[in-house]
Chain A
């Protein structure tokens, strides 16, 4: 069974103490928002996923909203609003 690769960046990466992990997609988790809720439910420090202001997400390196579908093999990323330029 293929896993979902999850990436975290910037202040969120620091808050979580990790930049990436790979997990089997839990049953009933079919969207980016559901995955965020699943991870945040682990408690501190993972609740940062629920409390980060204007949390952004990407699936397979495309910026998407919380309703975007995910499936095994996808690369999902969570990060704060971007501040380049």
Chain B
């Protein structure tokens, strides 16, 4: 299974090793691990700020897996890649926790790097996950960032 949505943590090293296990044609594995950042302050209510103590990830069961698989399929169509692994955690997470993992195996680094970044950029704008920050002042849904749309948009029409 190349896509997983789960509450449990993951072992990035084991996942990377699995992508080339038993084969000798993989020359590159590029990977990305996203972590929950302990932002010093989040805006709460009328401009007040409070430290982020935890984060809760909500998702759309069923659609989430389909969206991630569609992104992986699109990456496979754009680059000659041998294996892909995507893991996204949901539920309550603490600062420093791993939240997302993407790894791509290919013959050469160029395709592995590009496909890995493409998958992350599309995941940020197309996969139905939502982050809620918990602070001493209460909860706050994270706003989508325009820079994420721009990052995904630069792949439009881009060839390998």
Contact = CB atoms under 8 A, between A and B. Distances in A.
Interface stretch (B19-27, B41-49, B75-83, B129-137): B129-137
Interface in A59-76: 61-63
Given A9-B130, A77-B60, A82-B128, A63 B120 contact: no
A82 B129 contact: yes
A83 B140 CA distance: 12
B62 A9 contact: no
Contacts of B144: 54, 80-83
B143 interface: yes
Nearest to A63: B126
B88 A80 contact: no
Contacts of B88: 84-85
B130 A63 contact: no
B8 interface: no
14 contacts: A10-B141, A11-B141, A54-B144, A58-B63, A63-B126, A77-B128, A81-B143, A82-B124, A82-B144, A83-B129, A84-B59, A84-B127, A85-B99, A85-B123
Interface of A: 7, 9-11, 54, 58, 61-63, 77, 79-85
Query: Shortest 3 CB-CB distances between A and B: which pairs?
Result: A84-B129, A81-B144, A10-B130
